[in-house]
Amino acid sequence: MNEKRSFPVLVIVFALILSACGGGVQTQPVTSPEEPGKPAATQPPPPPGTPVVLRIGWAGSPDTLNPGTAVLSEAYTIFALVYDTIYEYQLDGTYKLDVAESADVSDDGLTWTFKIREGIAFHDGQPMTANDVAFSINLYKNNGDYVYLNAYTANFDTVEATDDNTVVVTLTDPVPNMDYLLSYLYIVPEHIWKDYAEAPASTEFENEEMIGTGPFKMVEYRQNEFVHLAANKDHFENPPKIDEVVFQTFESQDVLVQSLKSGQVDMITEMPATAVETLKNDPNVQVVTGAPFAPTVSDIIFNQADPDKCPTDVGGLCTGHPALRDRNVRLALAHATDKQKLIDVVLLGFGSPGLTLIPDGLGHWYNDSLVDYEYDVAKANQILDDAGYLDTDGDGIRQMPDGSQPLNFRVHWPSDSIDAPRLAELLSEMWSQVGVETELQAVDPDALTAECCPAFDFDIILWGWGSDPDPNLLLAVHTTDEIPNGYNETGYSNPVMDDLYVQQGIELDTEKRREIVWEMQRIAFEDVVYVIPYYEQAIQAFRVDRFKGWILDQDKVELSDVSSLVVIEPVE
Amino acid sequence: MKRYRYLLKKIGWSISTILFVLVLNFFLFRVLPGDPARAGIHDPRLKKDAIEALRVRFGLDKPVINCFETLNPIKLGDCGVNPLDTQFFIYLRNLTQGELGISYHTNRPVADILVERLWNTILLIGAGQVLSIIVGILLGVFAAWKARTPIDYGALITGLVAWSLPTFWLGIILLFWGSNNGFPIGGKATPGTSSMPFLYQAGDIARHMILPTLTYTIVYMGEYLLVMRSSLLDVLAEDYILTAKAKGLNTFQILKDHALKNAMLPIVTIIAINLGFTVAGAIQIEAVFSWPGLGGAIFESVGRRDFPVLQGAFLLIAVSVIAANLIADLTYSYLDPRVQSE
C-alpha cells in the first residue's frame, strides 16, 4: 500500500519538472529575436505590411470608458482620441471647431447655432448627424450623477437638432466659455447609447466597444493592462499616419523609465524627476518638460475662516490660529518662503514659482504681470515686528500682539502625497527664521478633507488642485458662496472678489473677461490668500529612434495629445 | 467513526470562521473614516446632488444597520427600520446571490473584477508555487542526505539567503537585469495579441511570466528547502532509520520508503498555508511587474479607497485560507492517523 502510493507521487514530481523545463525551452526561441543587450533600434525593420504600432507606457489606466462616470485623466486622454467634440482644446491653449463648421451666437448670448460637417461616420460605419450631437449633449445634461460632464451643461436649457446638420443650444444664462464647455461633451452614437440614456443604465454601461468618430478607434481594452487603439484612416480632418497605438500600464514610474530605456515602449507620459539625468545621457531618448496639458497647482492653505461667521450649520468649527487671519503674518510668511529652493529640492528644478491658484499652464488667463514677493528674511521679520508679533519670552517663537499665544501653526498634508513631506520640512526650516514654529503632520486624505472644509479645523494645509483649461473653477475657490460647500478651502471672503467672480462668469468678450480674471488674481495675490510654492512641470520622454514628428513647440507638453499622435511617423 | 467526527468538527469550525469573517469584513470597512462617495474626488465640479446620486448608486444612502446611521462618525439612527433596508442585510442578501457590490472606482461589479484578476494570480503564483515546491523539496532532501558536507552547507546558505531576500528588492533587481536581456518587464501579455493563435498567446504569456515567476520561486524555494532539510534531518536521527540501515537497505530506499513520508508533515503545513495566501497573490511581485492579479488589485484599491473591491478581496482570501487549512487538516489525518485522536 505504502509503496504504491509513493511511486505515483514521484512520477508526478518528475513530470512537473519535465514540463517546467519544457516551458523554459519553448520560450527560448521567442526571446532570442530581441537580441539581448542590444537596443531595440538595431532590430531589423519589420517586413512591409506589418502595422506601425506606437507603444506608450503610462503608470495608470482609465477607470472606465463611460465618459459619464470617468474621473481619472487617463480616461479623458482616451476619450480625446476616440471621440470628437464640437470644439477641441489645443496645446497652444486655444479652441478650434471640430465636428462643427461654424458657430453662431445670438446677440443676447442665449442661443448658439452650430452647423455640423457632413459626411462624418462613426467607427461602425453609421453616419453621424446633428441628432447624435444633440443626443450626446442631452445625455450629459439629463444625467445628474455624471460626475463631471453634467456640470458643463449647467446653463444649458434646451439642445435640439433642427435638421441633419444643425444643432441649436439655448442657455438659461449667457456663458463666456462655450468653447471650453463643449470641448468635453464627447459625441457618442445615438443608435448605441439610446438604450443607456437613463439611470441606472447610463452609469452601469461599460462602453467597451466605445464607438466614436475620432482619429482613433477602440480595438481592445483591458483594465490595468492596456488600451489598444487603431487609426481611423477615414477621419474627416486628422487621419493618423501610424496604424495603431497601445497604451500599456506599468505599476510604477521607475519601471516606465526602464521600459523606455530598453525599448519596450516608444514613449512615456510620466516619469520621476530623479530619472531625468540618466535618460538625458541616453542617445536614443529625448526628454521633454514644460507646463502640463492639465495644469496642477500646489497650494499652502492658510485658515482664514472667521469664527464669528463660521459655517456651523455644515459642521464648521473654525479653530484656525488667529494670526493667520492677519495679512501681515501671511505676507511675512510669503517673504520668508524661498520658492526657488523649494523647486530645486522638492521638484529637482522641474517647476516654476507660483503666484496664485491660476497656473502658468492656463495660457493668457495667467496674470504674468504680477511680481512675486521677494525672498527676504529680514523684511519678513520687520513686518512681524511692526505688526506687534514679538518674541517676549525669548524662546525664539513670536507671540500674538496681546501675548495670548505663540505663533505655533499646525501644518498638515495628505499622507498619500510624495512631495509634501519634503515641502513641509523646508517650510518649517524657512519659517523658523522668522520666529514661527510649526508642528508637521501627515494626515489621511479623507480625514484631511474632514478637517479642512467646511470644518476649518486646521491652521495650514499643503494641498493642491488639478485645473481645467478655463479659470472659472479655480476662481470659484476664492468666493464666499463656496465656503459652506467646502470648496473655498481658506475661508477667505471678499465682496469685491465675489462681484468680480460673477462678472467674469457673464462677460462674453474674451479680452474683457481676461482683464477681470487678471484683476481677481491681483487681489488674491495682494491679500496673500495663499502662498503658492510652485507649478509643477510635466516630464515626458520618447525614443528618437522610433517615431519622429512629435509636437514639441507648443506652450504645453503632452506627447499623447491627439495633435502629436496624428502626425508622428516612424523613423526610417 | 472517529475520523467522521473529526471531519465534521473541522468543517464546522471552518464554516463558523467564514461566517465570522463575513460579519467582521462588513463592519471593518464601515468604521474607516472619510466619505467613500467622495473618495478621490476633491473637486468643485462635484455638486451636492452629484454626491447624493453617488451615494444612492453605491447604496450608501441607507443606514448601516438598525439603530446606526453611520459608524464613523457614530451616528445613531432609527432602530425600527426594516432590517432588509439596511446596508448590512443588503450585503448579506447580495452575497447569497454571489454579488459583492460595485467598485467605487470603476463602476463595475466587484465579482467580475475579482474573477478576472483571480485567474491571472492563480496562473502566476500557481506556477511559482509548483516550481518552488519541487526545487525546494528536492534541494532540501539532497542537503539532508549530504548532511554536514560542503553541499549541505552550500544549500543551507542558499536557502537562508533566498528566504531572507526582500521580495520587492529581488523583483526590481531581476526587472533591471531582465529588461536589458530582452525579457518583458510588465503586464501579462503583449497588447494586441489576443487575436493570435492560442499557442502564440501561451508563449507570449509564458514569456511575461518568466521574471515574476523566477522572483517568486527563488524566495519560496528557500523556505521549502530549509523546512524540508531540518525536518528530514530530525527523522533521519530516529531509531527506526538506524534499524533500516541495520537491515542493509541503501540510502535511497531509506529515504524513499521510511524517511520522506514522516518528514513531509511540516512541509504540508506550510504548503497549505502558502496555497491559501496564493489567492492574495504576492502583492509586491504583482506591483513590481505590473501583473494584473488580485495582489495588484488590492494594492491599487488601497490607494483609491475602493472599499467594495477590498471587501470582496478580503473575503476571497479569508475563504481560501480557511479552505486551505481545512485541506491541510484533512491531509494530516491521512498522513498521520494519530492526529484524529487529538
Q: Are the Cβ atoms of B175 and A255 closer than 8 angstroms?
A: yes
Q: What are the residues facing A569 on neighbouring strands?
A: A548
Q: Do A258 and B303 touch (CB under 8 A)?
A: no
Whose CA is closest to B224, among B185, B178, B273? B273
Distance, in angstroms, between B150 CA and closest chain A CA? 25
> What residues of A are in contact with residue B287 (Cβ under 8 Å)?
251-252
Give pLDDT, residue B31: 83
Interchain pair A220, B192: CB under 8 A: yes
Mutation choice for A interface testing from B43, B132, B294 by most A CBs within 10 A? B43
Domains of chain A by residue range? 14-79+206-292+538-570, 87-202, 296-536
A200 touching B (Cβ < 8 Å): yes
Cα angle vertex A293, ends A288, A299, to 5°?
Answer: 100
CATH architecture of the domain A296-536 equals: Roll (3.10)
Q: Find, among A324, A339, A342, A335, the residue nearest to A408 by Cα.
A: A324
| Contact predicate A449/A463, CB 8 Å | no
A312 touches chain B (CB under 8 A): no
Q: What is the CATH number of domain A14-79+206-292+538-570?
A: 3.40.190.10
pLDDT score recorded for residue A361 = 86
Q: Would you say the C-alpha torsion A310, A311, A314, A320 has a positive or negative sign? A: negative
Instruction: Identify which has the larger pLDDT, B206 or A2.
Output: B206
* Highest mean pLDDT pick, A335-344, A506-515, B121-130: A335-344
- Residue A38's region, left for phi above 0, alpha for psi from -120 to 50, else beta, is beta
Is A145 within 8 Å of B53 when comparing Cβ atoms?
yes
Q: What pLDDT score was predicted for residue A154? A: 87
The DSSP code sequence of A282-349 is: -TTEEEEEEEESS-EEEEEEE----GGG--GGGT------GGGGSHHHHHHHHHT--HHHHHHHHSTT
Q: Measured between CB atoms, does A246 come within 8 Å of chain B? A: yes
- A557 pLDDT more than 50: yes
User: Percentages helix, strand, coil for chain B, rounded to the nearest 5?
Assistant: 70, 5, 25
Q: What amino acid occupies position B12?
A: G
State how far the Cα of A211 lies from the Cα of A56, in Å rounded to an integer: 22
For residue B38, give how far its alpha carbon lies from the nearest alpha carbon of chain A (Å): 9
Return the pLDDT at A20. Answer: 34
Q: Out of A66, A251, A264, name the one closest to residue B107 (CB).
A: A66
Contact between chains at B191 and A23 (C-beta distance less than 8 A)? no
Chain B residue numbers touching A204 (CB-CB < 8 A): 107
Q: Closest Cα of chain A to B329: distance in Å?
A: 19
Which of A264-273, A316-325, A428-437, A447-456 bottoms out in mean pLDDT, i.e. has the lowest? A447-456
Entry pTM: 0.86
Size of interface A-B (CB pairs under 8 A): 176
What are the contacts of B58-62 at 24+ separation with CB within 8 A?
B58/B101, B58/B102, B58/B104, B58/B308, B59/B87, B59/B90, B59/B101, B60/B36, B60/B87, B62/B86, B62/B87, B62/B90
Taking residues A223-243, what's their average pLDDT? 94
In this predicted structure, what is the pLDDT of residue B329?
83
For chain B, positions 142-171, list CB contacts with chain A under 8 A: none
Higher pLDDT residue, A473 or A132? A132
Grid cell, residue B294, equals 488580485
Rounded to the nearest angstrom, the minimum Cα separation between B207 and chain A is: 6
Name residues of chain B where pLDDT drops below 50: none
DSSP letter, residue A274: G
Q: Considering only residues 202 to 221 of chain A, which have any Cβ-Cβ distance to chain B shorter than 8 Å?
A: 203-204, 206, 219-220
* Chain B residues inside the 8 Å CB shell of A16: 130, 134
Handedness of CA A172, A177, A182, A184 (dihedral sign): negative
What letter represents residue B305's amino acid? R
Residue B68: alpha-carbon gap to chain centroid: 34
**Which residue from B312, B43, B49 is spatially nearest to A70, judged by alpha carbons?**
B43
> What pLDDT does A34 receive?
36
Predicted local distance difference test score (pLDDT) of residue B42: 55
Judging contacts by C-beta atoms under 8 Å, the chain A residues touching residue B300 are 224
- Rg of the Cα trace of chain A? 28
Residue pointed to by grid coordinates 479623458? A76
A-chain CB neighbours of B50 within 8 Å are: 144-147, 150-151
Residue-wise pLDDT tens digits, A40-80: 444 445 566 789 999 999 998 999 999 998 888 899 999 99
Establish if B35 touches chain A: CB-CB under 8 angstroms.
yes
Letter string b/e over residues A486-497, b meaning 16 or more CB atoms within 10 A of that residue's CB: bbbbbbbbbeeb
Among B44, B204, B297, select the one facing A477 at the smallest CB separation: B44
The A residues from 401 to 440 touching B (CB cutoff 8 Å) are: 416
> Where are the alpha helices (H) located in B237-290, listed in sequence order?
239-246, 251-253, 260-278, 283-288
Phi, psi (5° rounding) for residue A111? -125, 120
Q: How near does any CA of chain B get to the CA of A156, in Å?
A: 16
User: Which pLDDT score, from 0 to 100, does residue A554 have?
Assistant: 87
List chain B residues with CB under 8 Å of A476.
Answer: 44
Listed residue (A424, A456, A429) closest to A441, CA to CA: A424
ipTM: 0.86
Helix ranges restricted to H, A505-570: 510-526, 562-565
Number of continuous H segments (helices) and E segments (strands) in chain B: 13, 2
Class of domain B110-341: mainly alpha
Confidence at residue A420, expressed as pLDDT on a 0 to 100 scale: 93
Whether A476 and chain B come into contact, CB under 8 Å, resolves to yes
In this complex, the residue of B106, B256, B287 whose CB is nearest that of residue A251 is B287
CA-nearest residue to A487 within chain B is: B44
Q: Check if B57 contacts A (Cβ < 8 Å).
A: yes
Q: What is the pLDDT of residue A19?
A: 34
Average pLDDT (A120-130) is 96
DSSP labels for A424-469? HHHHHHHHHTTT-EEEEEEE-HHHHHHHHTTT---SEEEEEEE--S
With cut-offs at 50, 70 and 90, classify the pLDDT of residue A30. Answer: very low
8 Å CB contact of A259 and B34: no
| DSSP run (H or E) holding B21 | helix B2-28
pLDDT for A2 equals 35
Contacts of A37 in chain B (CB under 8 A): 180-181
Q: What is the pLDDT of residue A6?
A: 32
Which chain A residues have a beta carbon less than 8 Å from that of B189?
A: 225
In the stretch 104-143 of chain B, residues with CB closer than 8 A to chain A read 105-108, 113, 130-131, 134
SS3 at position A167:
strand
Amino acid (1-letter code) at residue A565 = L
Average pLDDT (A303-317) is 92
The reply to whether B296 touches chain A by the CB within 8 Å rule is yes
- Coil, strand or helix at B215: helix
Chain A residues touching B261 at Cβ < 8 A: 2, 6
Q: Answer for the pair A62, A70: CB distance below 8 angstroms, yes or no.
A: yes
Q: Give the model's confidence band at A295: pLDDT under 50 very low, under 70 low, under 90 confident, else very high.
A: confident
Copy the grid coordinates of residue A218: 477602440
Q: Mean per-residue pLDDT for A104-125?
A: 95
Q: Which of A98-102, A431-435, A513-517, B259-263 has the lowest mean pLDDT?
A: B259-263
Higher pLDDT, A7 or A437: A437
Please name the helix (run of DSSP H) or strand (run of DSSP E) that holds residue A89, with its range, or none. Answer: strand A87-89
> Considering the domain A87-202 in this protein, what is its CATH number?
3.90.76.10
Determine the Cα angle at A452 with ends A356 and A352, to 5°: 25
Instruction: Note the residue count of chain A.
Output: 572
Burial of B213 (0-12, 13-18, 19+ CB in 10 A): buried
pLDDT at residue A296, as a whole number: 85
Contact at CB, A26 and B203, closer than 8 angstroms: yes
pLDDT at residue A12 is higher than 50: no
A506 and B CB contact within 8 Å: no
> What residues does CATH 1.10.3720.10 cover in chain B?
110-341
**Residue B52 confidence (pLDDT):** 78
What pLDDT does residue A25 have? 31
Neighbour tally for A162: CB within 10 Å = 11
pLDDT tens, A369-428? 999 999 999 999 999 999 999 999 889 999 999 989 999 999 999 888 889 999 999 999
Determine which helix (DSSP H) or strand (DSSP E) holds A162, and give its type and residue range. Answer: strand A156-163
Q: Test B50 with A150 for CB contact under 8 angstroms.
A: yes
Q: Which residue has the cell 482609465?
A: A62
Looking at residue B36, what is its pLDDT? 63
What is the number of other CB atoms lying within 10 angstroms of the CB of residue A241?
Answer: 16
B34, B184, B192 ranked by CB distance to A449: nearest? B34
Does the beta-carbon distance from B180 to A262 stay under 8 Å? yes
Q: Please identify among residues 44-73 of chain A the ones whose CB lies closer than 8 Å to any CB of chain B.
A: 53, 55, 57, 63-64, 66, 69, 71
Q: What percent of chain A has pLDDT over 90?
A: 73
Cβ-Cβ contacts under 8 Å, A223 against chain B? 106, 113, 292
Weakest mean pLDDT among A239-248, A514-523, B80-89:
B80-89
Whether pLDDT at A8 is above 60: no
**If contacts are CB pairs under 8 Å, which of residues 197-226 in chain B contact chain A?**
203-204, 206-207, 210
Residue from the list A144, A250, A416 with its beta carbon closest to the beta carbon of B53: A144
Cis peptide before A200 (omega within 30 of 0): yes
